[in-house]
């Protein structure tokens, strides 16, 4: 049970850390705490004007990758203390690493796709509406 719990724990933490640039403004917009203009500017902080990743975008992805590495490291320490044979330990470590990386990457890519769909469908139209309202004032 600890095996799966650790995969979810570190996988979710790393995926959210790596995509906080898009998920945070999406959630804040859903809750009505920020408007479309601010949500776009929050997300734009992590990207260059041409749409590619900027310094802070890379930084949060490195933090997400670091969480995965830390999870693997912690599992390896715990596995070394277990009563399993050396062969079983190696299999467990490899299986844990592959599953954690796969789960983290899958969740990250899913959140990235979800946030881009949500931005296009809800936040960008709200931003345009807010911008037009500011122009007419």
> Domain spans of the chain?
2-132
**CB proximity list for 77: less than 8 A, separation 6 or greater:** none
pLDDT at 80: 72
Predicted TM-score of the model (pTM): 0.86
Q: Specify the pLDDT at position 1.
A: 58
What per-residue confidence (pLDDT) applies to 63?
Answer: 96
Q: Does the pLDDT of residue 50 top 90, yes or no?
A: no
Average pLDDT of the residues in 42-68: 90
Q: What pLDDT band is residue 117 in, cutting at 50, 70 and 90?
A: very high
Read off the pLDDT of each residue in 41-48 and give the average, rounded to a whole number. Answer: 86
Question: For 72, phi and psi rounded to 5 degrees?
Answer: -65, -45
Instruction: Write the CA distances from 116 to 3, 13, 90, 119, 121, integer angstroms.
Output: 32, 20, 39, 5, 9
């Amino acid at each position: 049970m600890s095996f799966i719990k650790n995969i979810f724990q570190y996988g979710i933490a790393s995926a959210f850390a790596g995509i906080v640039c898009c998920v945070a403004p999406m959630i804040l917009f859903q809750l009505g705490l920020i408007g479309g203009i601010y949500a776009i500017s929050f997300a734009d902080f992590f990207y260059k004007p041409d749409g590619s990743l900027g310094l802070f975008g890379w930084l949060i992805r490195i933090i997400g990758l670091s969480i995965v590495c830390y999870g693997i490291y912690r599992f390896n320490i715990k596995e070394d203390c277990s009563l399993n044979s050396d062969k079983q330990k190696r299999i467990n470590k490899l299986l844990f690493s592959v599953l954690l990386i796969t789960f983290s990457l899958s969740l990250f890519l899913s959140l990235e796709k979800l946030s881009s769909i949500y931005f296009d469908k809800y936040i960008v139209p709200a931003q345009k509406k807010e911008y037009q309202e500011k122009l007419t004032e």
